[in-house]
Amino acid sequence: FDSHLTYMLRLHTPAARTLRLVRPFASAASRVQLVASDAMYENALAQTNLTIVYFTAAWCGPCRMISPIYEQLASEHVDATFLKVDVDEMPDIAESARVSAMPTFQLVREGKLLDTIIGADAARLRSTILTHTA
């Protein structure tokens, strides 16, 4: 009886409820690459195609709001590289990019900074990406 009760309680924890809600909405693999090293970041910036870098943090509310939109843009613009940098995990990269607010988006091609967007402005992000991919 105790093991059955424990099992039933586990099914009704907040985490279990969240998992049941999220699982049906799971999508295909993300095209957004989480930056895990300085070398990965530098290699991506040197590419000839457009690279969009999204500087974010787990504690950033506006970042959580715009993240799904960033994922959608990544799926729409397959010729561009979409990176995500967690500023708490990779502070040296954020500092070298002179990022002081989240979210910040930087559009780079061949190591040259083309544009910067500060804030969770989805319309501006979309139009800026379109400008640099056309």
Catalytic residue among 60, 93, 102, 108: 60
Q: Say whether 60 is catalytic.
A: yes
Q: How many residues does the chain have?
A: 134
Q: Say whether 73 is catalytic.
A: no
Written as six digits, the tokens of 15 are 């985490």
SS3 for 4-43, per residue? HHHHHHHHCCHHHHHHHHHHHHCCCCCCEEECCCHHHHHH
> How far apart are alpha carbons 107 and 87 in whole angstroms?
17
What number of other Cβ atoms are within 10 A of residue 23's Cβ?
A: 8
Stated as kind and residue range, the H or E segment containing 48 is: none
DSSP 3-state of 73: helix
Catalytic residue among 44, 50, 52, 63: 63
Residues with catalytic annotation?
60, 63
